[in-house]
Amino acid sequence: MLPDASLEMAREVAETIRASRKPIFVVPDKKEIVTLTLSLGIAHFPTHASGAQNLLEAADLACFKAKGGRLPDGTRYGSNRVMAIGDFWDEFPDQSARFLK
């Protein structure tokens, strides 16, 4: 929570946190190395939500999107980044309505 912070200020804080964390390598079953990285989702009031619950849900969804995935056309998004829910809307406007339900 960053009261009174602009979206850009929140993005800068989140990116500083993300960049300061080095990847962690673990070998859970001694067969493969798994890399753990940090992704962060941010949402801004009132830009992305009109209330506390909706704001939390938007930030949670932004974090989910920041972790990475693929759109139906195969386009990759996210993966070890800071993403505001508005970034997803801006980057994939045609898909956003379907994915943000």
Instruction: Please provide the DSSP assignment of 32-94 as one string.
Output: --EEE---EEE--TTTT-SSHHHHHHHHHHHHHHHT-EE-TT--EE-SSSEEEHHHHHHH-HH
In a domain, 1, yes or no: no
Beta bridge partners of 24: 36
Asked if pLDDT for residue 1 goes beyond 80, the answer is yes
Asked if pLDDT for residue 97 goes beyond 70, the answer is no
CA angle 92, 93, 96 (to 5 degrees): 80
- Residue 101: per-residue pLDDT: 47
Asked if pLDDT for residue 42 goes beyond 80, the answer is yes
CA-based nearest residue to 8, from 90, 88, 100, 82: 82
User: Measured between alpha carbons, how far is 17 from 73 in angstroms, rounded to an integer?
Assistant: 32
In a domain, 59, yes or no: yes
Stronger pLDDT, 6 or 27, i.e. the higher one: 6
- Residue 98: per-residue pLDDT: 53
In a domain, 11, yes or no: yes
In a domain, 35, yes or no: yes
Average pLDDT over residues 44-53: 84
Domain interval for residue 17 = 7-99
pTM of the model: 0.67
User: Measured between alpha carbons, how far is 41 from 79 in angstroms, rounded to an integer?
Assistant: 11
Q: Is the dihedral of CA 34, 57, 96, 93 positive or negative?
A: negative
Q: How many domains does the chain contain in total?
A: 1
In a domain, 2, yes or no: no
- Residue 92: per-residue pLDDT: 67
